[in-house]
């Protein structure tokens, strides 16, 4: 003897899922949950824009300062000691600096990239500039 069972058609299951999703959105709208979500996501963007503007300001400032020197080693030391590097903008904010000798320092390449700048003393190996590459 073969028993036959009756199942739900696939269309019914899909409609039930859509109805649940619509119900969740309606609940969020009427309880103010959507407003909370948009306020929280709205707070992230200005913060990122502020950080980007700050990094851009640091980069422009050090580029101007580096332009006062004709020695590439001094320029690299200025970059290594700048707020652009100490605030980690050099790791995440893309910017390139052209040295007096025509070499280029490209920054914003991530934390896996770095190069060392010699300080000129034999006791200290130098300063590492994270996120940048000398080309």
Helix (H) and strand (E) counts for the chain?
Answer: 5, 5
In tens digits, the chain (135 residues) has pLDDT values of 666 666 778 888 899 999 999 998 888 777 776 666 666 555 555 566 788 888 889 999 999 999 898 998 888 899 988 898 888 888 888 999 988 899 899 998 888 888 888 766 555 567 888 888 988
Chain centre to alpha carbon of residue 89:
9
Nearest to 101 by CA among 69, 78, 126, 61: 69
Segments making up each domain of the chain, as ranges: 10-134
Three-point CA angle 113, 117, 120, nearest 5°: 165
Q: Which of 88, 90, 128 is nearest to 109 (CA)?
A: 90
> Residue 3, class by beta-carbon neighbours within 10 Å (0-12 exposed, 13-18 middle, 19+ buried)?
exposed
């Amino acid at each position: 003897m073969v028993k036959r069972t009756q199942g739900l058609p696939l269309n019914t299951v899909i409609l039930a899922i859509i109805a649940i999703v619509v119900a969740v959105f309606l609940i969020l709208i009427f309880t103010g949950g959507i407003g909370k979500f948009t306020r929280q996501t709205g707070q992230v963007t200005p913060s990122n824009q502020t950080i980007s503007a700050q990094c851009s300001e640091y980069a422009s400032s050090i580029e101007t300062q580096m332009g006062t020197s004709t020695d590439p080693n001094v320029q690299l030391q200025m970059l290594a000691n700048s707020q652009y590097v100490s605030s980690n903008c050099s790791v995440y904010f893309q910017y390139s600096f052209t040295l007096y000798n025509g070499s280029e320092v490209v920054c914003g390449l991530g934390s896996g990239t770095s190069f060392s700048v010699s300080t000129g003393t034999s006791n200290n190996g130098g300063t590492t500039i994270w996120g940048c590459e000398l080309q």
